Amino acid sequence: MSIRPVKSISPAIPTMEGAGVKLHRAFGFEDPSMLDPFLLFDDFRNERPEDFLKGFPWHPHRGIETITYVLNGTVEHGDSLGNEGTLAAGDVQWMTAGSGILHQEMPKGNAKGQMHGFQLWANLPASLKMTAPRYQDVEGKEIPEIIDDDGTRVKVIVGEFWGKRGPVDGIATDPQYLDVFVPAGVRKSFKIDTYRHAFAYIFDGSGRFADASAPRGVLLEKEVRGEEVNIRDLSGDRTLVQFSTGDEVTVQAGPQGIRFLLISGAPLEEPVAWHGPIVMNTREELMQAFAELRNGTFIKPAH
């Protein structure tokens, strides 16, 4: 076994999307080859309804897949094909936009007013850019969870891990998407295919991945005595860890344990033409998509 060295560690950056949703972006709208086939990762955890209730009104997608994982609260969604539903805590939606879809996502808080979740964008290969749109809505109870003897817990959302297979299937890039908790003080290794790009996103607790320094903490906006201040959170929360090549990653959990998403996928290594919610292979395809949005032919009839 060869441990994957850490290539970089960076904090997710506060930003705003939709109609005014405050979120933290771990990566996106930069070099699309960095974590190919993944394009963008957003963490939309909020404690105040005013920071998320305006949601993500109607907007288009083409050429990608969006993966939404809800931890707390709910997300109501609807689209131009007549699909609608609600994602609850623990649920996952894998949406293949394919040839094009218009949809909206409206977050709702839980009883405490909290809305916690993540969204990942995955690119589609050129051969599937114009495939028919589809949804895979998965309830949390369908996601297998493995508990190891040392207390490590792994939810297998996509792909195969420790003999269990996640309920989302038929994904072009054959990714692996795991929700991992490692208890305090435990050192644990996780096998990843050598040829995949891989990253971890820490969202609770702290820890140190092999060949990396301890988390320096990330700058977060918090309310102290009624005032908004920026403080450095030493928990490692909202931290992106990118790995180089190898066939496993190793983490040493901190005093509160560590929880993170571990995501990997085979790179497409194709040209990318990207503007906003539409990702194609050439500038001409991109221009055609926006022309179709303007003239009303963006949504393709079902075959």
DSSP state of 18: T
- Per residue in 150-207, pLDDT (tens digit) is 999 999 999 999 999 998 877 777 799 999 999 999 999 999 999 899 999 999 998 8
Q: Give the tokens for residue 67.
A: 């993966």
Residue 234, pLDDT score: 42
Provide the CB-side half-sphere exposure for 23 (13 A, CA): 26
Residue 41, pLDDT score: 97
Number of CB atoms found within 10 A of residue 92's CB: 26
- Per residue in 238-272, pLDDT (tens digit) is 999 999 998 999 999 999 999 999 999 999 999 99
Reported in sequence order, the residue ranges of 124-247 that DSSP labels E, i.e. its strands, are 134-138, 145-147, 153-158, 160-161, 164-165, 176-182, 187-191, 197-209, 218-224, 227-233, 239-243
- Per residue in 116-146, pLDDT (tens digit) is 999 999 999 999 999 999 888 899 999 999 9
Residue 218, pLDDT score: 42
DSSP string of 209-240?
Answer: ETTSPPP--EEEEEEETTEEEEEEETT-TTEE
Q: Which residues are within 8 A (CB) of 92 and not within 5 positions of it... i.e. 6 or more apart?
A: 67, 68, 69, 70, 136, 137, 138, 140, 143, 157, 168
CA pair distance 69, 65, nearest whole angstrom? 13
- Per residue in 56-67, pLDDT (tens digit) is 999 999 999 999
pTM: 0.89
